[in-house]
Structure 1
Amino acid sequence: MTGDWAMVRFRKSSRSSTNGGQCVEVGLQSGVVAVRDSKCPDSGLVELPATAWAEFLSVLRA
């Protein structure tokens, strides 16, 4: 699933703090979601199908 994420705009979580706390960013490309650490965006990312991400969010909201 590894794609080219260089040109994808990542969005920081609304739950992320501005004082150096736990921060994640999410990007979407061709039905694949990537999640990365906003403090170290070049250290790698986790890719998963957008359907799996949607299910994850659904479980969190429940």
Structure 2
Amino acid sequence: MEDLNAQWRKSSHSGGNGGECIEVANLTGTIGIRDSKNPDGPKLLVNHAEFAVLIATLKR
């Protein structure tokens, strides 16, 4: 179920050309991740601990 009041945001490092970007939103109890080019498409929902591991892994 989608939170209609979600504030989706992109990285400040993403370009304005509509390239390969994801957006994230802090939803009730989870973090939502979606494709910025397809905001109405499927979303990945992860808990806060899983999101922290994902970010730490990507920063390596």
Range class of TM-score, shorter chain:
0.7 to 0.9
Aligned match of 1:4 = 2
Gaps of 5+ in 1: none
TM-score (normalised: structure 2): 0.81
TM-score (normalised: structure 1): 0.79
Deviation >6 Å, runs of 4+: none
- Among candidates 37, 40, 45, match of residue 38 of structure 2: 40
Cα RMSD for the two superposed structures: 1.4
Normalized per residue, the structure richer in helix is 1
State how many pairs are aligned. 60
Q: Distance in 2 between matches of 1:9 and 1:48?
A: 16
Q: Distance in 1 between matches of 2:46 and 2:40?
A: 18
Secondary structure at 1:16's aligned position in 2?
coil
Deviations 1:3-58 (A, max 9, x none): 32221101112332211210110001233011001121001211111110011111
Normalized per residue, the structure richer in strand is 1
